[in-house]
Chains A and B, each alone.
Chain A
Amino acid sequence: MKYLYCTFLLLLFSNQIHAQKVVVYDSYSKLETAVLNDKNTTYVVNFWATWCAPCVKELPYFEKLNAENKSVKVVLVSLDFKNQFESKLLPFLERKAIESEVVLLTDKSYNTWLPLVDKKWSGSIPATLIIKNGKRVFAERTFSTYDELNEYVNKIIN
């Protein structure tokens, strides 16, 4: 009985931590000010979408990074279509039990905001930005294993 009760509590708790609150931003500048604002935090910002197969494939590595690498905070910036927010993005996050912070960016002024992330970014995703003490390292690339991602991140932040 005690065991059952614990399981129940655990379930309740895990449900709580899995419940994603996704804030929607219509401008990248606003997103950066609101989400990537703590100077003492190292951010690993992954640009992705549920419709992007290679992004979805590497998402578990970012989840693991967020859970295991205590020196970084992962922020998953979804570029999903606005009209698929409730029909696709939220069910996806729930199904995959995503725990990293997720925000939806609907900024259409690509010519303005893509260069703010990185001047060389052509706009293909996945893409990853690391921010540490004002230093920014951007890569328009995929990661094929967790170790590859973790090593890449550690090299930049250490």
Chain B
Amino acid sequence: MKILYSLLFFVTTFLVSAVTPAKGYAPGDKATDFKLKSVDGKMYSMADYKDAKGFIVVFTCNHCPFAKKYENRINDLAKKYKTKGYILLAINPNDPTEQPEDSFDLMKVRAKEKGFVFPYLFDDGQKIYPQYGATKTPHVFLLDKNKIVKYIGAIDDNVDDANAVKEKYLENAIAALESGKSPSPETTKAIGCSIKMKR
């Protein structure tokens, strides 16, 4: 009996570890939905948006200088694409005990200061960002209406100066989606602040 138990334990452990995605999403994968609290106190899920043509999931935060440089651009993108049916959802993945500036209360303050027009969600318990494979802020995942990942990476190619941008990666990817094509490139790289994990 004891042996049976240990065997059962072994098999379940193996199964659990086998189904846990370790590396996050690649283009073509189906992304998980979430139910996370926004700075307005309400819970948000992608499932709430029945008519959405797609979702722009941005992992971002308060403290990171790279994320700060993109705040206005993220807000503009949210406004611009909401009317086109693409919903921007920002998620703060950081653990506030590691990075106090990224607490839920300070998220509220920041959202008010900057006049965020999008839900600014808190990945409470850090369950969502590892599934997506977000490693830094800002880190963007563009999903189609079926939550299939279409683009992963940076918003554009110039963090310092929005006016000097040459390649609007995210907007180009949305345009590709609109015309029924695959974005090119499907992934881009950029420097960012590593996500602060709970120790």
Contact = CB atoms under 8 A, between A and B. Distances in A.
Contacts of A82: 160
A121 B63 CA distance: 22
Contacts of B139: 122
Nearest to A83: B160
B194 A110 contact: no
Interface stretch (B29-37, B42-50, B183-191): B183-191
Interface residues of B, number: 22
Give the interface SS of chain B, mostly helix, strand, loop or mixed: loop
Contacts of B160: 81-83, 108
A109 B188 CA distance: 10
A125 B194 contact: yes
A122 B189 contact: yes
A53 interface: yes
Interface in B148-199: 154, 157-160, 185, 188-196
Interface string A37-54: 000000000000001111
Interface string A120-132: 0111111000000
B191 A79 contact: yes
A54 B158 CA distance: 24
A29 B189 CA distance: 17
A54 B196 CA distance: 9
Contacts of B190: 110, 114, 123
Given A51-B65, A54-B196, A124 B189 contact: no
A60 interface: no
A122 B95 CA distance: 20
A101 interface: no
A142 interface: yes
A99 interface: no
A53 B99 CA distance: 9
A129 to B, nearest CB: 15
30 contacts: A51-B64, A51-B65, A51-B193, A52-B194, A81-B65, A81-B160, A83-B160, A108-B157, A108-B158, A108-B160, A110-B188, A110-B189, A110-B191, A111-B157, A114-B189, A114-B191, A115-B189, A122-B136, A122-B189, A122-B192, A123-B136, A123-B190, A123-B192, A124-B136, A124-B192, A124-B193, A125-B191, A125-B193, A126-B194, A140-B194
Interface of A: 51-54, 79, 81-83, 108-111, 114-115, 121-126, 140, 142
Interface of B: 63-65, 99, 135-136, 139, 154, 157-160, 185, 188-196
